Amino acid sequence: MTPRVHVTGPVPARVAAELERDFALVDEARGADGILSLLSTTVDGAYLDAAGPQLRIVANYGVGVDNVDLDAAAARSIVIANTPDVLTRTTAELAVSIMLALLRRVAEGDRMLRRREAWRFSLEFMLGESLDGKTLLVVGPGRIGRETARLAEAFGARPVYAGRRDPLDELLGEADVVSLHCPLTPETHHLIDAAALARMKPTAILVNTARGPVVDEAALADALRAGTIAGAALDVFEREPAVTEELLTMENVVLTPHLGSATRRTREAMGLLAVGALRAVLLEGRRPENAVV
Ligand code: DGY
């Protein structure tokens, strides 16, 4: 019998075509043999139980798996797969894009022009900061963090790294740019809180392309208002899709709506990797290379 797969949201046409080739697509998780889950779907024990005991794999359409209860999946012998590598460069590129947009006041200048404010070229007008010569602290030196460092080095930045065993508190005080690339786990929830922000230089900026809850967004708004740090560039938010109201009013904040992996090529590659994991488990009876559980 053709395995039944439930997809929790719209996927690119090319990915949908691949799914349709090998699987019977079903509207509900209940009764499915495999699930292709978007990051906006919470896959917890209750969700897995509602799907039923026939469920063998959940392929998550993303590298982050914080929307999935991995222990609950392991307890039910359900394979969980993610989509690493194919989005590394794209996500790093976005991190550097919003870093530069903030430092060089790109979004701020764009907003000013759209308000049709009077302006004139002058030597002291809207001066920004260059990435050249800056110390870039990469928090979470995994694939995306290291690629961000590599790209930033091309602009003259000097990367330093904070992993699980490194003294984040000390490094925060040295950095001009703090860029977050760690997964969201109970340990990294609110890793950047009021105390961490207070350790940063008043001239430093924070960049978050990882997961919103790694930052205490209310504490960040307080720190920006008080001048504890100089600015923030955020692609992810604590209560996504909501954004803390005050951040929307601040000129020294660049905001993008979770666009880290958002290119057609990358989104298709992610989808094909996820389909490959579904095929491995449901058609070939083997564990996919990109299984995390
Ligand atoms: C991921 O893959 O975890 C990204 O956040 C989605 O683009």
Instruction: Report the CATH number at residue 34.
Output: 3.40.50.720
pLDDT value, residue 217: 98
- Is ligand 1 within 6 A of the CB of residue 228? no
Alpha helices (H) along 187-261: 194-199, 217-226
Ligand 1: nearest atom to the Cα of 260: 7
190 is catalytic: no
CA-based R_g, the chain, Å = 21
Ligand 1 atom with the shortest distance to the CA of 83:
2
Which residue segment(s) compose the domain that 35 sits in? 4-86+263-282
- Kindly state the percentage of the chain with pLDDT values over 70: 100
For the stretch 53-98, pLDDT in tens is 999 999 999 999 999 999 999 999 999 999 999 999 999 999 999 9
Q: How far apart are CA 28 and CA 151, in angstroms?
A: 42
pLDDT at site 58:
99
Take atom 1 of ligand 1 and give the residue whose Cα is closest.
62
Residue 60 Cβ inside 6 Å of ligand 1? The answer reads no
Q: Looking at the 3D structure of the chain, how many domains does it have?
A: 2
> pTM of the prediction?
0.97
Three-class DSSP category at 265: helix
Q: Are residues 173 and 229 in the same domain?
A: yes
Q: Are residues 32 and 127 in the same domain?
A: no
172 lines ligand 1 (CB under 6 A): no
245 shares a domain with 267: no
The pLDDT of residue 133 is above 90 = yes
| Ligand 1 neighbour 212 (Cβ under 6 A) | no
Mean pLDDT of the region 260-275? 98
For a pocket test of ligand 1, which of 8, 37, 87 has the largest count of ligand atoms closer than 8 A to its C-beta?
87
- Ligand 1: which of 60, 63, 292 to mutate, most ligand atoms within 8 Å of CB? 63
> Which pLDDT value is given to residue 219?
98
User: For residue range 146-159, what is the model confidence (pLDDT) as tens digits?
Assistant: 999 999 999 999 99
Q: 199 and 67 share a domain? A: no
The reply to whether 163 and 18 lie within a common domain is no
Task: Evaluate the CA torsion angle 120, 231, 104, 262 in order and state its sign.
Answer: negative
**Does residue 167 surpass a pLDDT of 90?**
no
Which residue, judged by its Cα, is nearest atom 7 of ligand 1?
261
In this predicted structure, what is the pLDDT of residue 1?
92
Among 210, 216, 208, smallest CA distance to 255 is for: 208
